[in-house]
A = this chain, B = another copy of it.
């Protein structure tokens, strides 16, 4: 039987990350390929108590719930957002099935086929997947380590009239970048000047290695007109609950809730009730400090071994937070081809190519430093260094 599918299927691509994860699941392979937190650091006892409390607090907890999300959870989020300088009301928050769904619902109410979105390049793979599935025209803006280059950004806004600028400005995936304050302000000024909506994807903002660093979210400098801000409990509590949120202009949030109604009615409300108890009873900020200490240590182990390679053509920027270290290898290297060699040597990474909008830099790769233990990182990086440090193994 030959089925007639929607045109948009042609633009959907399976996540290369997931396909590679399957390869990397071989025994004895140390994988830096995924984007997973360390499950041994999960606050399991706190989650268990929270669920127990939710499950003994009345049967309503298990009934159908409001599409917008459980009000008490939204109020907790209002408080947490306020600590980041984002002053919004509970009505401007939509609880989503992970922040991935926030990207999807936003796209659904925003984009017609052919609409233009400006992005960094490389950028979050699964956001590209969503935009592609809505047949959006994704246009990359030139960027350096401080964020998008102002001239290129303004030129593209004026010429292409994008509907949205999608950014991961803080400890980004894949390249661990942090936008400077100046670039943040400039982006907002352009959004105001040309009336362009900004989608600020911030799953990693809480994983900030130096507590003295000042990285105000874009949303904290916006008058709730142009910035949609999304984050998640996946990195700070656990991923399995698939609970994230998005906050922004009420008109947009309201339409997204309407779209969500048709998509999945509402987010798992038992998990929402459990998260309410967890946020009330558990010191999440202290837990985040534990995560930061562990992840920072692992990042430095990874960095130390990278530094041991004596090759000027290998470069990277030291992550100041988040989960990823992005490496540039010598220009002639193709990391997709090199992956087989790496896996043969017992180590896996994600080639950089799928994170690029159009023509990829084939000599890039992404390393995750949060999932593997320090010993494993050391061993895995020794293996990786033997591959990238040994000219004979490079294609």
Contact = CB atoms under 8 A, between A and B. Distances in A.
A50 to B, nearest CB: 10
A212 interface: no
Interface in A257-286: 258-259, 261-271
B62 A98 contact: no
Nearest to A7: B112
Interface in A176-216: 195, 197
- What copy number does this chain have within its complex? 2
Contacts of A40: 59
A39 B14 contact: no
A12 interface: yes
Contacts of A242: 97, 264-269
A36 B62 contact: no
Contacts of A56: 48
A392 interface: no
Contacts of A294: none
**Most chain B CB within a 10 A radius of its CB, from A60, A101, A270:** A270
Given A39-B59, A63-B240, A265-B242, A1 B226 contact: yes
A111 interface: yes
A238 B3 contact: no
Contact of A238 (B36, B63, B271): B63
Interface in A275-315: none
B240 A64 contact: yes
Given A64-B36, A64-B239, A270-B241, A12 B42 contact: no
A379 interface: no
A271 B97 CA distance: 13
A67 interface: yes
Given A55-B51, A261-B18, A262-B129, A61 B112 contact: no
A381 to B, nearest CB: 23
Contacts of A393: none
A4 interface: yes
A240 B268 contact: yes
A23 to B, nearest CB: 15
B240 A65 contact: yes
**Most chain B CB within a 10 A radius of its CB, from A249, A258, A267:** A258
A44 B55 contact: yes
Nearest to A34: B64
27 contacts: A2-B195, A3-B197, A3-B249, A4-B163, A6-B115, A12-B259, A14-B258, A34-B64, A36-B63, A36-B64, A39-B59, A39-B60, A42-B59, A47-B55, A63-B240, A96-B264, A97-B97, A97-B264, A98-B264, A104-B262, A104-B263, A126-B261, A130-B263, A133-B259, A238-B270, A242-B268, A242-B269
Interface of A: 1-9, 12, 14-15, 18, 34, 36-37, 39-40, 42, 44, 47-48, 51-52, 55-56, 59-65, 67, 96-98, 100-101, 104, 108-112, 115, 126, 129-130, 133, 163, 195, 197, 225-226, 234, 238-242, 249, 251-252, 255, 258-259, 261-271
The 3 closest A-B pairs by CB, nearest first: A39-B59, A62-B238, A97-B264
